[in-house]
Amino acid sequence: MTSGRVINWPRCLLWLCSTVVIGYLLVPLLIVVPISFSSGAYLQFPPPGYSLQWYRSYFQDPQWVDATWLSVEIALAAAALAVILGGLAAVALVRMAIPFKAAIRIILLLPMIIPSIVVAISVYSLYARLHLVATFVGIVLAHTILALPFAATMLMSGFQQLNRSLEEASFTMGGSTWYTLRRVTLPALKPSIAAAAVFSFMTSWDEVIMVIFIGGGDATTLPLKMFSYLRTEINPTIAAVSTLLLAAVGIGFAMIEFLRPRLSRARSSAG
């Protein structure tokens, strides 16, 4: 949007709309965080009093902490795998001529369309035979499949958007394919890769139906543990878990922002 010396009404409007939307996104968090400090025994808002009991119950129960770590590990692995596989597929689908392109795109989208409970019951017997039930690898593979549609779609739109002239310039100036990939293409794709990674992570992070079937026992993820609580009682421990995660993300982000100028200085000085 252009800026001029007069009041930029379109831009003001843009800021106004954006503020409203961000408010909409963050308002539930303003409910969840206070509830996590509630001294009451069930979900009440506003809380009758404040206490750290739910945080205590979270940290004291090794199952909660184990479940959290397991979910993080599974989601990281599934996201990495989905982005890599989805990226490869996206390159092929966007840049190359292959037969049945439309059919392949639909197949890549299928895991998102078919209700996951049907996927779960069908995958279960296969997993049972392969002894993948309640294993880390099994859940990661299943979540990768569920995340692939996201990763592939995001990366496809990223590739489509890519300004090919930049790559062409790199080639004409003598850059190898690998160099171009590393220094031109991938950096330009950063937003799409990041978005694909985030979506894939979140798909795995929140996924509960498949895990009910192929997880369980020692392979209990956080959503699975929360799910069984919410079925029987609405326990504010899950609000505490959520608040902790928010804090972790917030702190992680702050650290990255803080370290970023130092990292880029180090990188630029290293050449």
Partner 1 sequence: MYGSLRNLWALLPLSFAACLAAAPVHPARAADNVVYINSSGGTLDDIYRKIFWDPFTKATGIRVVSSAPVDQAKLMAMVKSGNVIWDVAEVDDGDFWRSKQLDLLAKLDLAKLPIADMPKGTYDPYGIWENAYSTVLVWDTDKWPMSGKHPTSLMDLWNQKDFPGPRCLWKDAIDNLELGVMHAGVPRDKVYPIDQDLAYKQLDELAKNVAVWWTTGAQSVQSIVNHDCVMGTTWNGRPYQLVVKDHAHLGVAWDDAILHAAWWAIPKGAPHYDAAMKLLAWMEDPQRGAQQAVLTGYAGPNRLVAQYLPKEVAAFLATAPDHMATTLIANDQWWTQNGPAAEKRFLGWVISK
Partner 2 sequence: MLDAGSASGLMARPSRGERPLRARLRTAGLPLVLLAPSLLLIAVLFLYPLARLVAESVTEPRLSLANYISTVRDPILWQIILITLEIAAECTVVTLMLAYPLASLIASLPKRPARLLLLGVMLPFWTSLLVRMYAWMVLLGRHGVINQALIASGIVDSPLRLMNDRFGVVVGMSHYLLPFMVLSLYSTMIGIDRRLLEAASSMGSSTLQAFCRVYLPLSLPGVYSGSLLVFILSLGFYVTPALLGGPSDTTIPVYVEQQVELLNWGQATAMSMVLVVVVVLLFILYDRLLGFERIFRGIAT
- Binding residues for partner 1, rule: CB under 8 A, are 40-44, 69-70, 73-74, 76-77, 80, 117, 120-121, 124-125, 128-129, 131, 133-137, 186-187, 190, 193-194, 197-198, 212-213, 216-220, 224-225, 227-235, 249, 252-253, 256, 260, 263-264, 267
How many whole angstroms separate alpha carbon 127 and alpha carbon 116?
A: 15
The answer to whether the beta carbons of residues 221 and 229 sit under 8 Å apart is: no
Residue 93: closest CA among 229, 85, 271, 222: 85
Residue 228 contact, options partner 1, partner 2, none, Cβ 5-8 Å cut-off depending on partner type:
partner 1
- Least distance from partner 2 to the Cβ atom of residue 1, Å: 6
Strand partners for 38: 50
Nearer to partner 1, 15 or 229 (CB): 229
Residue 94: closest CA among 168, 184, 159: 159
- Least distance from partner 1 to the Cβ atom of residue 46, Å: 12
- Least distance from partner 1 to the Cβ atom of residue 109, Å: 25
Residue 237: closest CA among 60, 64, 58: 58
132-191 residues in contact with partner 2 (CB under 8 A) are 141-142, 144-145, 148-150, 152-154, 156-158, 160-165, 167-168, 171-172, 176-178, 180-181, 185, 188, 191
How many residues sit close enough to partner 2 to count as binding (CB under 8 A)? 111
Strands of the chain, DSSP E = none
Residue 6 contact, options partner 1, partner 2, none, Cβ 5-8 Å cut-off depending on partner type:
none
Residue 65 contact, options partner 2, partner 1, none, Cβ 5-8 Å cut-off depending on partner type:
none
- Residue selected from 113, 173, 217, 269 as contacting partner 2 according to rule CB under 8 A: 113
Residue 25 contact, options partner 2, partner 1, none, Cβ 5-8 Å cut-off depending on partner type:
partner 2
- Least distance from partner 1 to the Cβ atom of residue 175, Å: 17
78 binds partner 2 (CB under 8 A): no
The alpha carbon dihedral of 139, 196, 227, 120 has a sign of negative
- Cα of 137 vs its chain's centroid, Å: 18
DSSP calls for 174-241: T--HHHHIIIIIHHHHHHHHHHHHHHHHHHHHH--HHHHHH-BTTB--HHHHHHHHHHH---THHHHH
74 binds partner 2 (CB under 8 A): no
Residue 112 contact, options partner 1, partner 2, none, Cβ 5-8 Å cut-off depending on partner type:
partner 2
Strand partners for 219: 216
The answer to whether the beta carbons of residues 193 and 152 sit under 8 Å apart is: no
- Least distance from partner 1 to the Cβ atom of residue 242, Å: 17
How many whole angstroms separate alpha carbon 62 and alpha carbon 224?
A: 15
Nearer to partner 1, 12 or 63 (CB): 63
Residue 26's H or E segment, with its range, is: helix 9-36
